[in-house]
Structure 1
Amino acid sequence: MAENKEELKKRLTPIQFEVTQKNGTERPFQNEYWDLMEEGLYIDIVSGEPLFSSKEKFESNCGWPSFTKPLKEEKVTEHLDTTMGMRRTEVRSKNADSHLGHVFPDGPPPEGMRYCINSAALKFIPKDKLEEEGYGEFRSLFED
């Protein structure tokens, strides 16, 4: 059963709640994962659903974590966002419906996409902690 907003408000930090439940955005270059390049998995802070891998993370100089693609396309949804006088594509987690960030068509080849994701919407699981955190099935992503 999904948590209600009051339960989430107690469990998440204020910025995590603002970003995931109120479509907020954290400050660029002042968030937890914008420059983290360690190998591991990025999961939805609300549901624990694996969303992105460090294998697809790249330095975009935008101030937020950026990925070329999600771990599995079907785990995220895309929606037209016309707020703030712009036309953008919002990215949400499918299972928890958490606001994650936006996707732009200015990423590196071959995908050419930049999933610009708020750190506050994610939890990072380092590759050496995957098993103990319950994500051992993803260990093979980081083996040469």
Structure 2
Amino acid sequence: MPDKYPAPDSFEVAKTDAEWAAELTPAEYNVIRNKGTERATTGEYDKFYPEKHEGFFVCKACKNPLYSAESKFKSGCGWPAFDKCFKGAVVTNTDNAYGMQRVEIVCAKCGGHLGHVFEGERMTSTNERHCVNSVSVKFQKGPIPEGLEEDKVV
């Protein structure tokens, strides 16, 4: 999967570290801005399964719509898992941290760290698992905003 990560100053929502720190909780700031992670099975949305047409998930930092309730699935990985996102909602970056190579996913609007995407596990028809930190997203009840379509990241 090629990098699609734009320069940090090219995101639509650009704020200083101080502005982000004032708006986010310390846990949210650590994950969203410092690319941290929450402990497995501790997140609010790990075992949260809304009805398919009940709502959608947005970026906690900028409210950008990311995932439909329908795209969430039970993967057993300990974090919320989605098999597709709204077109153009996330961008990818190669993450070489911790001695391994993974594909990082960030919000396309603010650059906030969401988690990582894994391919080839055959858990769903898209063959993708977006492993997302609960503190990076917020569930919104209601209809999906008009004009949004879902797709794989690749």
**What is the aligned-residue identity percentage?**
35
Which structure has more RCO (C-alpha within 8 Å, separation ≥ 6)? 2
Deviation of residue 7 (structure 1)?
1.6
Aligned-pair distance for 1:137? 3.4
Q: With structure 2 as the length reference, what TM-score do the two structures score?
A: 0.79
Cα RMSD between the aligned structures? 2.0
Mapped to 1, the partners of 2:131 and 2:74 lie a distance apart of 11
- Consecutive unaligned residues of structure 1, counting only runs of 5 or more, are none
Aligned equivalent of 1:59: 74
- Asked whether 1:137 is paired with 2:151, we answer no
Q: Is the counterpart of residue 88 in structure 1 residue 97 in structure 2?
A: no
C-alpha separation between the residues in 2 aligned to 1:117 and 1:124? 13
CA distance in 2, matches of 1:90, 1:136: 25
**29, 34, 37: which one aligns with 1:22:** 34
* 1:34 is the counterpart of 2:30: no
Alignment partners' CA distance in 1, 2:60 and 2:33: 11
TM-score (ref. length: structure 1)? 0.84
Aligned counterpart, 1:114? 129
Per-residue deviation, 1:136? 5.1
Q: Are residue 77 (structure 1) and residue 91 (structure 2) matched?
A: yes
SS of the residue 1:111 aligns to? coil
Give the counterpart letter for 1:75 in structure 2.
A
Query: Are the counterparts in 2 of residues 41 and 52 from structure 1 also a CA contact under 8 Å?
Result: yes
Q: C-alpha displacement at 1:2, in angstroms?
A: 3.1
**Distance in 1, Cα, partners of 2:128 & 2:57:** 18
Contact 2:75 2:123 in 1 (8 A): no
